[in-house]
Amino acid sequence: MTADRAVFARNERRTAARGERDDMRRFRLIFAAILLAAAILALPSCSIEYNEGHVLKKDGFKYYTSATRKNCFAGPVTVSVEDTVVEVPDEVDGYKVIALGGALGASKRPQPFYIYFEGVDYLIDPDDIPDDTEVIEKTFELRLGKNVSDVSGVMKGWFRNADSTKVFHITVNVVCSEENGTFRSDNGKLYRKSDGSLVDSFEYAVN
C-alpha cells in the first residue's frame, strides 16, 4: 500500500506540474494574441481604423475617424465662393485631427484632402484647359491646428464645373498653430520644424 501511495503521489505531482505548464502556455498565447491585436490596431490605415463607415461630417469637412485611437484625418472640404478661410481644428467632437488626407480600409485606398466648391469637383489637369475657358483664381487662408502632423494626402486644386465653362484654381496661404510640434508657417508657407524644409504639398498663393 505504501508503494501504491508513493506512485499515486508522484503521479499527482506530475499532473499538477503539467497543469501549471499548460496554464503558462495558455497565458503566453493569450498575451501574444493581445500584442498582435495591439500591433494591428496601431496601423494607421487598418480597416477597423479608418473606413467609409466612420465618417464625421461637420462644417463642410469629411473627417474619417478612429474610435480606437480617438483621432481622425480630414478629407475633402466643401466651401462657398464667399468663403476666405478654411480652418482645420485641433479636434472635432473629441477626435484629434492629425492629418490632411489619409487611407481607407484594408486596401489603403487614398482619400485626399482638397478644397472645392459645391457642384465644382471635377479635378482637371491645367494643361488640358481650353483657351476659351474662364479661369477663376481663388485663395484661401488655410489654418492648421496643433495636432496636424501629416499633410502628405493633400490634392492640389484645379477644378471645373459640370458644364466645363469655368475652371477654379485654388491656392492657399497657410497659417499654422504655434503649438504644432511638427510644422511652422511663415509668410503663407508651411515648413518642417525638424529641418526647416519647405512642405511642397500645397499650391501656395505667394511665390
- End-to-end CA separation in angstroms for the chain: 99
- Stretch 36-56: mean pLDDT, rounded? 54
pLDDT value for 160: 83
Q: How much of the chain exceeds pLDDT 70, in percent?
A: 73
Q: How much of the chain exceeds pLDDT 90, in percent?
A: 47
Residue 192 has pLDDT above 90, yes or no: yes
What's the CA dihedral at 156, 162, 165, 170 to 10 degrees? -20
pLDDT value for 19: 55
Residue predicted with more confidence, 121 or 192: 192
Q: Dump strand ranges (E) for the chain.
A: 55-58, 61-66, 71-79, 85-88, 91-92, 95-100, 102-104, 109-111, 115-117, 122-123, 134-144, 157-160, 166-176, 183-186, 189-192
| Contact between residue 81 and residue 116 where contact means Cβ atoms under 8 Å apart | no
Residue 4 has pLDDT above 90, yes or no: no
- Between vectors from CA 10 to CA 9 and to CA 11, what angle results, nearest 5°? 90
- Which range is most confident: 38-42, 49-53, 152-156? 152-156
CA distance 69 to 89: 17
pLDDT value for 46: 42
pLDDT value for 14: 57
The pTM of this model reads: 0.73
Residue predicted with more confidence, 45 or 18: 18
Residue 40 has pLDDT above 50, yes or no: no
Number of helical (H) and strand (E) elements in the chain, helices listed first:
1, 15
pLDDT value for 96: 96
Query: Average pLDDT of the chain?
Result: 81
Residue 38 has pLDDT above 50, yes or no: no
Q: What is the pLDDT of residues 79-118, one digit of tens each?
A: 988 899 999 999 999 999 999 999 887 777 888 999 988 7
